[in-house]
Amino acid sequence: MTERGKIRVMLVDDHAVVRRGLGAFFLASDDLQLVGEATSGEEGVGLCESLQPDVVLMDLVMPGMGGVEATRAIHGRWPHIRVIALTSFETDELVQGALQAGAISYLLKNISALELSEAIRAAHAGRSTLAPEATKVLIRTADQARPLGQDLTAREREVLALVVQGLSNNEIGEQLTLTHSTVKFHVSNILSKLGASTRAHAVALALQHKLVT
């Protein structure tokens, strides 16, 4: 493969050991070419202007301009440049911040050389690669963003409405023709789904979020 046909990659990381290790990794690759290295977010943005790489491997935690801010700047000015977040951290804030800033992928530095190569090729082709830890963060965030009570079943909403009216489990069972154990099971599910510690707490949440009429 000619130099012209290679995927041009730039590395932004403030750790020299990481840069040296990745530099050796690129030397052994047939289709990936390391065209530049930056030690800070500011330097990375500046090099993108002059080098116009295909893919940027972006550390997120660096002195000065962090990787999230640098990713946002690069994506805003050169949306054709694919940014891969390559970091040691998978906090909710970093995962969400990097992806919202325009990173196409989120990888941890314990990734294998083969996995990194495939992720770079995928990014160049416009496909995302997410570390399992990042996927868990996104799923957890989506669950937290879901409106309270959305996952209640129709029967659980019926039971909740009667709980709000102040009925006991036995009274709810009589009204809905359910056994005591079934009502108890529904009430337990309702408390769990609402994150309520007591029946009174569940009632307060139901009224506050208008889960019952």
Assigned domain for 213 exists = no
CA proximity to 65, closest of 39, 91, 86, 85 = 39
pLDDT score of 2: 40
68 and 25 within one domain: yes
Same domain assignment for residues 124 and 164: no
The closest of 121, 1, 113, 109 to 54, measured between CA atoms, is 121
* Residue 51 shares a structural domain with residue 33: yes
Q: Which two tokens stand for residue 76?
A: 């805003």
The CB density around residue 172, as the number of other CB atoms within 10 Å, is 23
The answer as to whether 149 is a domain residue is: no
User: pLDDT tens-digit profile of 142-191?
Assistant: 666 678 898 899 999 999 999 999 999 999 999 999 999 999 999 999 99
Q: Is 159 found in the same domain as 131?
A: no
Predicted pLDDT of residue 3 = 63
Q: Quick one: 21 and 109 in the same domain?
A: yes
CATH classification of the domain holding 77: 3.40.50.2300
Q: Judge if 14 and 115 occupy the same domain.
A: yes
pTM for the predicted model, two decimal places: 0.68
Is 178 within the bounds of a domain? Answer: yes
Count of the separate structural domains present in the chain: 2
pLDDT score of 7: 97
Task: Round to whole Å and give the CA distance between 212 and 160.
Answer: 8
Residue 188 counted as domain residue: yes
Q: What is the DSSP string of the chain?
A: --GGGSEEEEEE-S-HHHHHHHHHHHHT-SSEEEEEEESSHHHHHHHHHHH--SEEEE-S--SSS-HHHHHHHHHHH-TTSEEEEEES---HHHHHHHHHHT-SEEEETT--HHHHHHHHHHHHTT---B-HHHHHHHHHHHHHHSPTTTT--HHHHHHHHHHHTT--HHHHHHHHT--HHHHHHHHHHHHHHHT-SSHHHHHHHHHHTT---
Q: Are residues 94 and 120 in the same domain?
A: yes
The per-residue pLDDT for 141 is 76
Residues 163 and 59 in one domain: no
CA 95 to chain centre: 5
CA-derived radius of gyration, the chain = 26
Residue 116 and residue 158 in one domain: no
If asked whether residues 164 and 139 sit together in one domain, one would say no
Domain of 180, CATH number, reads 1.10.10.10
Token pair 């963060």 is found at 137
Domain for residue 48, yes or no?
yes
What is the predicted pLDDT for the residue at 37?
96
Cα separation of 71 and 61, whole Å?
A: 12
Whether 61 maps to a domain, the answer reads yes
Q: Show which of 125, 144, 163 is a domain's final residue.
A: 144
Q: Which of 75, 15, 74 is nearest to 48 (CA)?
A: 74
CA 66/CA 16 separation, integer angstroms: 17
Q: pLDDT by residue for the chain (213 residues), tens digit each?
A: 446 689 999 999 999 999 999 989 998 889 999 999 999 999 999 999 999 999 999 999 999 999 999 999 999 999 999 999 999 988 888 998 999 999 999 999 999 999 999 999 999 999 999 999 988 888 777 666 678 898 899 999 999 999 999 999 999 999 999 999 999 999 999 999 998 888 988 998 898 889 987
> Residues 57, 89: one domain?
yes
Task: Give the domain extent around 168.
Answer: 154-208
Same domain? 77 vs 135: yes
